[in-house]
Each structure stands twice: as C-alpha cells, then as structure tokens.
Amino acid sequence: MATMDVKEIVKQAAQQEEKAHKFYTDALKFVKDAAARVWIKELADEELKHKDMLQKFDASKIKQFKPAKIHDLHITEYLVDKDVHEIKDFQDVLIVAMKKEQKSYNFYVGMAKSADSADIKKLCKVLAQEELKHKHKLELYYDDIVFKED
C-alpha cells in the first residue's frame, strides 16, 4: 500500500465509477419496466456524479470527510454470482450490480486495512461507504421487487 498515494487511489476510484456508469447504461437494454428504467438511469447518473466529484477531489480536505454509517442488508451474500454475459432480465441486472458494489466495497475495505497513511485509510473508508450505499439501495429495490406480495 505504501506505493499508492491519495491521487492514485482517487484516479482509480474515478475509473471504477466510469465502469459502473457504463454497466448501468448497458444494463438498460434488459430493463423493460419504465419505472425501473428511470431508476437504473438515476444510478448511472449517480456514478457519473461520483466520478466528477473524484476528478475534482482536493486531497487537502480529506480530514473533513466522515464515513457515513450504512446498514448492510447482506442480501448479496446469499445470491449466486452471475456474469454480465448471463444477464437476461432486470432481476439479473440487480444481482450483477449488487455483486459489483460488494466487490468494490471489499476492495476499499481491504485497502483501508493495509494503508500506512491515516489519510489514505480515511479516504478508502469513505469510498467503501459510498459503495455500500449503492449496494444498500440495490438490495432494498431487489427486496421490494423479488419479495413483494402480489
């Protein structure tokens, strides 16, 4: 971890946000429901906002950040991994998205644990919580559509 600095982590995080935006944009072709399409588009837009925020990131203000506490529903842990190429419908989109957010969260948590610098630890914790927020939002939506009562 000593070889990575804050700027490198921010650059890498911005690239991940761009990939997430592309995933959500590409996933729209599998979403038929109009309300779900709007929701997926909002997630894609949110990823672009995060990328923009990261590209304008001022490392001198890192001490001001406070990682938010997010409740993890752990739904993702009970779902079977799917590859992007296996997506057939909206439920598959949600599963792949939740798994991607979980992997990003785990990545930043791992980086925070191995960081030498307090600033890098804090930055990674903030980035991890952002990923957990996305995962939480997806899990709530998944819970609503998959387990809703008819």
Domain containing residue 73: CATH number = 1.20.1260.10
| pLDDT confidence of residue 14 | 92
User: Is 98 within the bounds of a domain?
Assistant: yes
Instruction: Decide if 113 is inside a domain.
Output: yes
Query: pLDDT under 70 in the chain at which residues?
Result: 1-3, 149-150
Rounded (10°) angle between helices 90-114 and 34-55: 20
Query: Chain-centre distance of CA 69, in angstroms?
Result: 15
Tally of domains within the chain: 1
Residue 19 forms part of a structural domain: yes
Does 142 fall in a domain? yes
Contact of 82 with 8, CB cutoff 8 Å: no
- Residue 10 resides in a domain: yes
Over residues 27-60, the pLDDT tens digits come to 999 999 999 999 999 999 999 998 998 888 887 7
Q: Tell me the residue range of the domain where 103 lies.
A: 6-146
* Residue at 1 is within a domain: no
